[in-house]
Structure 1
């Protein structure tokens, strides 16, 4: 009886336990926890690269030279030692192309002047002797020599022409030496000098003749004209070697020749 009663008691307790109502607790939502920004690590804090690290933990890097068969690399360190290679800005030089101006024409004109003077000297040897005697000597026979010179108009005219050509060349070279008249060609400049000399001495000759006739002093004016043209003939002959030096020399020799020729004129 007791056993059965115990069993029944247990069963009753079990039944009551099973039949007890289930109490459900409300489901709580997970709380969102916000992190404090103060506690965050500083983004500016970097790991010191100078600290020695274990080489075992560092992955080994395999060095592969960038050699390409199609695009060869230039060794700039080696090329920089070469004096013919420069890796800076290129150097620019200003080059002025100078046109060569030969002096063949001046050479031939000098030869022509020499030949012209040689022809006059050989054709009128006596006149040339009397000319230098009259110019460098003074004496009793000067009047007679002067009359002999006046009786030879052709050599006088040729020597006057030689004087004009010689002085014209000298003036053209003088203007070029002092950088004057560069707008003109040398031969045009020479022609202008010759024409100017002809005009000047022609006007001077006509004016002196006219003044001598007007004032009845023809003898004095004729003597002055004779002295002027005799001096011109001697100057034209004396300038010939200086013209050669002025045409074909440079530097100090040219300067000395220029100074001496100016003194002669």
Structure 2
């Protein structure tokens, strides 16, 4: 268990926090909202339309995931995120929790209901967060103006890994999925099928930013070199597949980045987001 906790920090850890807000004259609003029988913390900053809502990867706080761009966005637009159960000041996951994109989309919707002040929204989904924003946009097409996907998961990627990897390598990948489920109530597997059935409007503009360098941190889980190759080749294949999500999807490669694009090339993210905001 300790091994996997260390692994996820290696996969996702960022070094910048919102402590810099004090130096930038941008006021950050911190608060909590209630959803079902638990409380989730949120942060908002800035003003201006369209409002931007951020959805992070699995296994990392939204604050850490978006630290390099949150205040940049707030210079021109209102921007918000919330923390999932188990992160920052949100409640701990209750025993037996089983959350998929359907639940996460509802949590996002509650935050949007409480804090948005623009008719149209721009949603940013990072890794697993891409599932969440796609699901929300499919269910609320009149609210979402556009989507930015940052090295976002595709619904066929993990299934294809299972079919292509050796039994030994897949068992290690399965252990990672099990860790998310057991410790955070975070059900990645079932989420794939939910988002696969959530069709987006054909005229929805989507910007896709994909990593240009292979992601090799899974080597620390004991995945073989062949397994790492399969992992990355399928990743690249399904990043390109996201161009089929709508008729207005375009892809940009962050050539100097592995999975942590926001941390290593925040300017690439901001360039693509600026296109959507303008």
- Same fold at TM > 0.5: no
Q: More relative contact order in 1 or in 2 (CA 8 Å, sep 6+)?
A: 2
What band does the TM-score fall into relative to the shorter chain?
Answer: under 0.3
Question: Larger strand proportion, structure 1 or 2?
Answer: 2
Larger helix proportion, structure 1 or 2? 1
Q: Give me the TM-score of the superposition, normalised by structure 2.
A: 0.23
TM-score, normalised to structure 1, is 0.24
